[in-house]
Copies of this chain bind each other. A is one copy, B any other.
């Protein structure tokens, strides 16, 4: 029996497989179809202080190898999340796993407020916070928080001061080098990294000559981004001791194992769930089988276990 437990900083996961934010609702929507015993955590959809309507429709477009989406972070605010969604999660899911609460804000202060509100709830099923820094900073004229290492460090530090929960920062992939952003997370006091968020992308309807998405552009996810994500996880692992939650185009165990060998402690399944909700369970079983076949007693031994000259 392979020991599947991993630790993403202080977050204990019973398997190295989680779900990715925005693709798994608040953890309970897929409950009928999911074997939670194969999951180590679920990540909730991004939440801010107040309700937010999200983008106009259409919000997505299927492309070869994945999906471009601009949902726009619709949600009902942190109070509703804590009172209703966490309640439903604990009621609906039989064998629940820790929830990673994905948070965002339009200012550094809002990030800290959301983090404080989630911490204050002290919900036993809330296991960590994940900061989505790929959303527009209203004060800084719409640049995202994750775009500039200085801004990133500052917002991470503010959230760090507001919470004792394990703090994961989710980084954007469209950077020349991930290293300055990792330093910012380290300096700000992050406990772990999530890699990668979607890649900015756009689809144009050539017959109507308009962008397909009402928001014009969106984020590319799914199989198409996997090789780029592996590279970023590899680079990140070589640059830091912070544990990494890797995501981007995991469709089968092989993809997850690539991430772990590149340096991830755990992986999250996003877009693949839409076409195959049993992906997470299959990935978990596949990781276990691989460990057995290759003589690893524990899944955590896979992290960074690349053989390099």
Contact = CB atoms under 8 A, between A and B. Distances in A.
A210 B64 contact: no
Contacts of A202: 227, 230-231, 234, 262
Interface stretch (A4-12, A159-167, A218-226): A218-226
A147 interface: yes
Given A262-B204, A306-B211, A228 B234 contact: no
Interface of A is mostly: mixed
21 contacts: A64-B226, A144-B176, A146-B176, A147-B176, A148-B176, A175-B175, A175-B176, A200-B231, A200-B232, A201-B227, A201-B228, A201-B231, A202-B230, A203-B230, A204-B230, A204-B258, A206-B261, A206-B290, A208-B307, A210-B307, A210-B308
A65 interface: yes
B201 A217 contact: no
Contacts of A308: 210-211, 216
Nearest to A208: B307
Interface in A51-102: 63-65, 68
A223 B64 contact: yes
Q: Which 6 A-B pairs have the closest CB atoms?
A: A201-B227, A224-B224, A202-B231, A65-B65, A147-B176, A204-B258
Contact of A225 (B175, B224, B258, B306): B224
A301 to B, nearest CB: 11
A63, A262, A305 interface centre (most CB from chain B within 10 Å): A63
Nearest to A173: B174
Contact of A306 (B209, B223, B230, B257): B209
A177 interface: yes
Nearest to A64: B223
A157 B42 CA distance: 51
Contacts of A258: 203-204, 206
